[in-house]
């Protein structure tokens, strides 16, 4: 009886987890950013700091900050962003970012191309 219960419970959990994955896949957006892209950072909602008084620029209750610049892609879901050259970088999840489509994106970040590979720069195992 115990074995049947474990089997039935495992099947039920698999069905439930498949439904959850399907629901998440339909609502999530497949967005990828590259270094140098301008993005908005969602700073509203649960768990984020609330500031007293007016929001900078007179926008009361705005939940979006920025534009930030993507500095580095840490993995598929986590990015390092920075507001300006002198500000402290932040590490944030992809779901808190939205593409910036304004007229004046920040242009202080320069994406450097890696140096070209030459035969001398290749390390060989001997």
pLDDT in tens, 60-95: 567 899 999 999 999 988 999 999 999 999 999 998
Whole-model pTM: value is: 0.60
**Which range among 3-7, 26-30, 62-66, 113-117 has the greatest average pLDDT?**
62-66
Q: Do 48 and 93 reside in the same domain of the chain? A: yes
Q: How many domains does the chain have?
A: 2
Q: Single out the residue of 77, 75, 69 nearest to residue 111, CA to CA.
A: 69
Is residue 95 in a domain? yes
Q: Do 42 and 89 reside in the same domain of the chain? A: yes
CATH code at position 61 = 2.30.30
How would residue 126 be classed by pLDDT, with cut points 50, 70 and 90?
A: very low
**Which range among 54-58, 60-64, 106-110 has the greatest average pLDDT?**
106-110
How far is residue 67 from each of residues 29, 37, 41, 51, 108, measured CA to CA in Å?
Answer: 20, 10, 7, 19, 12
Is residue 118 in a domain? no
């Amino acid at each position: 009886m115990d074995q049947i219960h474990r089997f039935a419970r495992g099947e039920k959990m698999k069905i439930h987890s498949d439904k959850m994955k399907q629901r998440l896949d339909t609502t999530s957006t497949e967005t990828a950013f590259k270094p140098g892209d301008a993005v908005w950072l969602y700073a509203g909602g649960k768990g984020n700091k609330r500031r007293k008084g007016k929001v900078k620029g007179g926008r009361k209750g705005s939940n979006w900050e920025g534009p930030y610049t993507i500095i580095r892609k840490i993995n598929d879901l986590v990015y390092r962003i920075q507001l300006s050259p002198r500000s402290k970088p932040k590490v944030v999840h992809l779901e808190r970012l939205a593409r910036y489509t304004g007229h004046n994106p920040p242009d202080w970040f320069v994406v450097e191309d890696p140096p070209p590979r030459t035969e001398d720069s290749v390390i060989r195992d001997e």
